[in-house]
Amino acid sequence: MRMLERLRGADRCLVGTWVKIPALETVELLARAGYDFVVIDMEHAPMTLESAYRAVVVAQGLGVHTLVRVPDAGGSHLQRVLDIGADGILVPHVTGRADAERAIGGMLFPPNGTRGMGATSRAGAWGLDDTAGYLRRGDDETLRIPQIEDLGALEDAEAILGTPGLNGVFLGMGDLTLSTGLPADDPGLRRLTDRLLGLAKARDLPVGTAIRDAAGARAAAGRGFSFVMISNDASIFGAAAAEIRRAAGPLEF
């Protein structure tokens, strides 16, 4: 089952985290810890196309849905990441309908978009799958998710969500608060967030966001978010390591 299908039939918010460390061991540990999905971060981490590919293969092999956040909204990585066979792509800093149309169009096959044929890639089982199945999975089963993370995009949410082929949306609260100088609980931002959730619900679109901790994830699920990323692999390791070292204290003879 692909992640899009899982989200459409889910009776709970799916829980994931960012993958920033280019190592397969941490991906395996996240799978064994029970995460529903991971997001390979090519925007804010030293993830190459090769390390992203290996992470996707390992995570999916362990039953974990896998998204990839591409480096930017320019579109240069879309084709190759889709050929990896990821469950979907997050496109950062989509500022309006034009950005959304360009990004989503790059993830759809003609006549609806501009994605090229790559049936001999991993997405097509290296040519072992039939072409019709490869095309169907690409258009019907792949998540195409713009990140809304500035005030103008959030205010223009209705137009962005109307982009043909868009089938999910992500609210980037970190950059949103940075660019506006407002806290996440600002009444105006909360109203716009609730509006985004309402617009998405009316279109049966899953909405995701990133949260720092478990309490925040529970609150996000209660507001109507469909999938949340809690922290990231590097911060999880760093916090655990720091806590162990703090608890040990000075060890004197």
Which domains are delineated in the chain?
3-235 (3.20.20.60)
Q: What SS3 class is residue 227?
A: strand
DSSP state of 111: T
Cα gap 76→43, rounded to integer Å: 13
| pLDDT tens digits along 102-150 | 999 999 999 999 999 999 999 999 999 999 999 999 999 999 999 999 9
Q: Which residues contact 57 (CB under 8 A, 6 or more apart)?
A: 85, 122
Q: At residue 75, does pLDDT exceed 90?
A: no
Q: Which two tokens stand for residue 146?
A: 């713009």
Cα gap 159→198, rounded to integer Å: 14
pLDDT band of 252, cuts 50, 70, 90: confident
Q: Are 86 and 68 in contact (CB under 8 A)?
A: yes
| pLDDT tens digits along 190-206 | 999 999 999 999 999 99
Cα gap 135→24, rounded to integer Å: 29
- Mean pLDDT calculated for residue range 228-243: 98
Cα gap 14→39, rounded to integer Å: 12
Cα gap 27→21, rounded to integer Å: 9
